[in-house]
Structure 1
Amino acid sequence: MSSSDFYTSLHAQLAGLLSEERDWLANTANASALLFMELADINWTGFYFLRGDELILGPFQGKPACTRIPVGAGVCGTAVATGEAQLVEDVHEFPGHIACDAVSASEVVIPLYDGDRCLGVLDIDSPSLARFTEQDLAGLKGFAEVLLQNSDLSGA
């Protein structure tokens, strides 16, 4: 299956999961579980939500994680500070990387927006270097859009 077909299917699965529910907590829990189940070669997937000047851990799948991340710190905090998705081939080369799990080697982080307001991030880690591609980045941005369109994340 091509990357494009994979993400089209993943987006459809998420839309189906969320079709009867708008609650942000339930939907981010199911979204993280779906990603953990469907993506190969990952060791953590989940959400952090912005509270003031820090990100607070939300629903996730994987080992226990850092509970709070300051805006501007690590890959997640950088995504919020810059407003841009982060595709990191080697987290050990990323300035200020926060190692919640020493096994993680690469990471992709997608900021979640309601208009101009950043709500938080979708964060996915892999134990393999350069696991994520530009196609993954585009597909995961689309995944986040499906989540945002089908959930009331403004209350998150």
Structure 2
Amino acid sequence: MASASALASEDARAAAAAGDAAAWADLPGWAALLQRHAHLFEPWIDGGAVGLVARAAADAGRGRMLVWTRVQGAMQVQWRDYRGFADCGVAVLFVAQPGALAAVHARLHDNALGQMKLQLRQGGLFIYVLAPKSQLLDEGYEDFLESLGLAFMGACR
């Protein structure tokens, strides 16, 4: 017979999985977030992109990736195939532990980027910077990354 704590743990995992599924599927919600924070993405060049991938997909080296891309001067949210770090086609990749993207998604309408920053600090999201710093600067990523508490330029410029 399973203990009460084991059952509660299983219930928590099931709830996290359901929340994650809803978060991954809500392309219009993510698009609305990007529109509300358009000032952070205006400096991006066309084709500039960041991706979000589930930890399980990152570990397996394959799966689906949620991508925020600048196309013809506007931000778009889309799915892309994820085939590993070397071939993901984004400058920055966020890898989400179970429940992390659901936590950000739950705050889409009030402080999602703040929650994203918190998830980075707490280890729910891992960030992989796949482009050199000079490329990130040239392509306009600085304001977005700094909004997440990632002051990669430091005090001296």
Tell whether the structures are fold-level matches, with TM greater than 0.5: no
If the length of structure 2 is used for normalisation, what is the TM-score?
A: 0.32
More strand by share: 1
Higher relative contact order (CA 8 A, sep 6+): 1
How does the TM-score come out when normalised to structure 1? Answer: 0.32
**Structure whose CA Rg is larger:** 2
Q: Which has the higher helix share?
A: 2
